[in-house]
Amino acid sequence: MHPPTVFTLKKSSIGRLNCMFRCSQPCLAAALTATQCRSNADCTSPSSPGPICSFDTTIGGVTVTQSSTCSNGVDAPDVRGTCVGYCATQAAYLTAIKCGTVGQGGAQGTPSVCSSSGLTCLPNSQCKRLACDPSTNAFTTEPCYGFCVVAARTVNPGKMQPDGRSIVAGLSTAPVAASFPCASLFDSNTMAKLGVDALCSTGVDPNSNAPVLKIALGPQSIFMPGTDTLTVSSTQTALVDLLDLTQKFTGSNINVAPCNVVIGQPDSCKPPIGLIIGPAQVPAPCDDSTATDVIFDASHSSDPSGRAFKNVIWSTTSQDIKMITAVSVANNAKALRLVLPGSDNLNLAEGTYTISVTFTNFLGVTSAPATWQFTRVAGGSTPVVTLPTDLSYRIAEGFKVPVTLMVASVCANQKVIYSWVPKTPSTWAAIPGGTLYTKKDLVVPGPVPDVTAGVPNVVTFSASTGGTAVTADVTLTAQASALQANLRGPQGDIRVDRPVYLSAAGSIDPDDPLGVKPLGITWQCTRSDFPTPCFSTAATGTQSGLNWTIPPNSLGIGVPHTIVASIFRTNANGAPVGTPVATPAVTFTPKPAATPTGRVRRVCGSGNCPIRHSAENDLALTLVPDTGSDVASVAWSSQQITNLAGASAFDLVIPSAQLPGGSLTVSATLTSSAGTTSSTSVTVPINARPSCTTPQTGCLRVDLTTGTFPTAKFSAQAAGFTDDDPTSLRYEFGTLSATGTRNIISSGLTPTYTFTGIPTGSTQLYVCAVDTDGARACSNTAVTVSEPQAGQFSVADALTTFDVGHLAGTGDVSVLASGAQALQSLSTCNTGSTQTAAQQQQVQQL
């Protein structure tokens, strides 16, 4: 309803540009004009239009320029703003305040009529109308009758957003700006649907500018729009009226409409995205004994919501009964892989085959068909490989293009030659060597060089055994990583006679870790007795880069002040690029000098703490008293972790098992030797672990759970894992030892794996979903492998015929690893056979 006071500053010098030993020419930047500035210090001359250096181009007359200057012998960015009057920077704020108050009225102080319908003029003895005197660059006030307010503060009906991961609900009036766990607003029944890690924040609708409540659903959310409703807890204090902090928002059985299931409309639900990865050519087996399954993998398909698919439907245009049967089996299991068994592959007729798959998500929206076509060719003519041909990745994280080779397609004495060559453009610095890479998988670590977000690069892959090569163009599209906005400053009570230091310098652009490109910043300060401004004059302190120092005795005693910064990328001209990212808020209350004060700090060993703490690790905090402050004791508390109430040491360690997802706020009550108390707190963003959305059945699906040695194979699929960023999960497959130790067999982006070479007896297979911070969730299941019948299998014969050279010729590390496991299983098989020294050497070779 009313925007808080906004102060804007552009970061003017971060990093070093285009220089190693000396500056480019010209060395010196042009002198500042009378209206140009880099900071407020450049706006003090009598000819200056005003005392504020602004970089906010929405203010009339403000322009921003960017060039280079010479600093200590190297090039540095030179960003210049415009000197303006303080009143000009507050114009939007003052307009909003005047719209939100009622004039003094007649001689007896009668109320005026509110201009908007549905509002009531509420008398308020503290009501003041603000104005700005340009001659003094200071606020002035005059009395007013009261405020135009709504009769009730309610959370209004909302709507599921197109991504299926968030809800936006209306608010009857503007609330105090806040971000908090939804558990502090809604009742327990609502939270069971939203997910325990759901996060709530206030904001405005970008189209109507009306106040809204944004709900980011938790990873385990099962909320169904159109069916489930929202109910505000009667005891909540997290959401209150901006103009009257004693008035809480209410609401029960609040409806949430679904997004539009009709594709193509502005509010349409985002459909699932289908993708099939499979071989483009399927050669006949080199001989009947090497006939293996042919797999068409759709496990890289995704839904924007991060939830599991409601339905999976495969189809084929072929009339071949073998293909029809494979499709039927996959549909009955709602499988993400279509498998043509080796026995059917052996007798597949020559020709071209087409398969398709569609996905339906929890909202009932169905994807466009993903289609794949393959051709049956002669055996031994070309290797069978599968790989994704369209891949998006984050610049900061890098990427891997995994290639799966069908070992049986490589005949004896053949060797596979791989190559990756840039196509568009013809050279690419990300490719090792720039023009040719000869490993099976293309792996490029982040940050990926020589790319632009949204602009695809195309590379050509080929694999050959000396005959016809199989080739594929792979489109790789870079995505800008989300800015990691961080604000460091005091939380809780502070001494009014000391400066306040605020820093967003810990904010990170993951795509620019060296800070070559300047970041922009805006500051917002709001007092709890809004609309009273944080500062009554232009004396707001020193703002430099991403830092702000507020001088002593410049803030009101006993009044909470909330500071939020918004960080954004900038272009070459200094203008904002992309959507700004808000930092967590810091709220502090200036108190008299005798108050005991201190700060809660995270303890992260010898290095700096990451912005998000990993839920895999314990969280260590310490209370650091301010210099000269008398702090005799400390008591810890948290609304999210109730058993902290008894903690009283200056150091606190919270076990990882107790950490929530999203964020954790921990408060400390400080007591002086004279008995004076104060409080401070810290809010730590928590990187939640991935989670399994089907804990009753687990998230590891195995097609069969029994088999006979040594031919037993188990097709495993990770299904039902979700995370706050499900697109960046990788999957580890392996076996568990009797003591629970994990033995990793495969790790990659593909959520499927086929286990082979499993020894006789019962074995626990497992899969872990791992996020970019190393947090993981795991699921396991048991399979049983029986011994072959007497006389039907000889370990000695199997070891004798085991062709290590054939496996090495594939050039595939995963094939070699599987071969090593198979040999190990053969060596331990209890069939009365004894290994020779040569056979033992084969095991050691792998």
pLDDT tens digit sequence for 782-810:
999 988 877 665 555 555 555 555 555 56
Nearest to 225 by CA among 153, 281, 274, 157: 157
Residues 6+ apart with CB under 8 A from 741: none
Where is average pLDDT lowest: 315-319, 631-635, 659-663? 659-663
Helix (H) or strand (E) holding 798: helix 795-801
C-alpha to C-alpha distance for 128 and 143, rounded to whole angstroms:
5
Answer whether 462's CB lies under 8 Å from 418's CB.
yes
Asked whether the predicted pLDDT for residue 363 surpasses 90, the reply is yes
Q: What is the pLDDT of residues 409-464, one digit of tens each?
A: 888 788 899 999 999 999 999 987 778 899 889 989 888 988 988 899 999 999 99
Q: Which residue has the higher pLDDT, 381 or 42?
A: 42
| pLDDT score recorded for residue 648 | 78
The chain-wide mean pLDDT, for the chain, equals: 82
Q: State the Cα angle at 478 between 477 and 484, rounded to 5°.
A: 150
Helix H or strand E encompassing 323: helix 321-332
The order of strands in the sheet holding 155-160 is 179-181, 199-204, 211-216, 166-171, 155-160, 254-257, 229-230
Alpha carbon 807 to chain centroid, angstroms:
39
Residues paired with residue 769 on neighbouring β-strands, in sequence order: 731, 777
Percent of the chain with pLDDT over 90: 31
Asked if pLDDT for residue 82 goes beyond 90, the answer is yes
Contacts with 552 (C-beta within 8 Å, 6 or more apart), sequence order: 496, 497, 498, 499
Tokens linked to 497: 């006679």
Give φ, ψ of 16 to 5 degrees: -125, 140
- Measured CA to CA, the distance from residue 188 to residue 196 in angstroms comes to 9
Taking 60 as the threshold, does the pLDDT of residue 33 lie above it? yes
CB-count burial class (<10 Å; 0-12, 13-18, 19+) for 20: exposed
User: What is the end-to-end Cα distance of the chain in Å, rounded?
Assistant: 68
Residue 13 has pLDDT above 60, yes or no: no
The alpha-carbon radius of gyration of the chain (Å, integer) is: 32
In this prediction, residue 311 carries a pLDDT of 94
Q: What is the pLDDT of residue 784?
A: 92
| pLDDT at residue 641, rounded to an integer | 85
pLDDT of 798: 56
* pLDDT tens per residue across span 479-511: 888 888 889 999 999 999 999 999 999 898 888
Work out the angle between the directed axes of helices 813-828 and 837-845 (0-180°, nearest 10). 150
Residue from 722, 687, 691, 723 nearest 614 by CA: 687
Q: What is the pLDDT of residues 813-834, one digit of tens each?
A: 666 566 666 656 656 655 444 4
Q: How many other CB atoms sit within 10 Å of the CB of residue 621? A: 20
Q: Residue 123's closest CA among 99, 105, 96, 97?
A: 105
Q: What is the DSSP string of 146-200?
A: EEEEES--BEEEEEE-TTSSEEEEEESSPBPP-EEEGGGTB-HHHHHHH-TT-EE
Q: Using DSSP, state whether 825 is helix, strand or coil.
A: helix
Nearest to 217 by CA among 166, 160, 178, 153: 166
Per-residue pLDDT of 514-535, as tens digits, reads: 788 889 898 988 888 777 788 8
Give the residue, 226 or 384, on which the prediction is more confident. Answer: 226
Phi first, then psi: give them for residue 642, nearest 5 degrees: -70, -25
- Tell how strand 586-591 and strand 492-495 pair up: parallel
Confidence of residue 2 (pLDDT cuts 50, 70, 90): very low
Range name among 238-252, 443-457, 587-601, 693-707 with the lowest pLDDT average: 693-707
Beta strands in 725-820 (DSSP E): 730-736, 742-748, 752-756, 761-770, 776-786
The more confident residue out of 846 and 532 is: 532
Q: What is the pLDDT of residues 90-101, one digit of tens each?
A: 776 676 565 556
Q: Is the pLDDT of residue 107 over 60?
A: no
Average pLDDT over residues 559-572: 88
User: What local confidence, expressed as pLDDT, does residue 457 receive?
Assistant: 95
Q: Is the pLDDT higher at 156 or at 539?
A: 156
Query: Could you count the other beta carbons within 10 Å of the beta carbon of residue 449?
Result: 10
Do strands 761-770 and 752-756 pair parallel, antiparallel, or not at all (unpaired)?
A: unpaired
More confident call, 337 vs 807: 337
User: What pLDDT does residue 348 have?
Assistant: 87
82: nearest Cα among 103, 107, 56? 56
Q: pLDDT tens-digit profile of 273-286?
A: 998 988 888 888 87
pTM: 0.65
Residues 638, 642, 647, CA angle at the centre, nearest 5°? 75
Beta strands in 235-310 (DSSP E): 254-257, 281-283, 294-297
pLDDT at 582: 84
Phi, psi of 191 (to 5 degrees): -65, -30
Indicate the pLDDT class of residue 27, thresholds 50, 70 and 90.
Answer: low
Considering only 241-255, 380-394, 557-571, 623-637, which range has the smallest mean pLDDT?
Answer: 380-394
Residue 371: Cβ within 10 Å count: 13
Nearest to 394 by CA among 437, 344, 447: 447
Is residue 342 pLDDT above 90, yes or no? no
Q: What is the pLDDT of residue 18?
A: 37
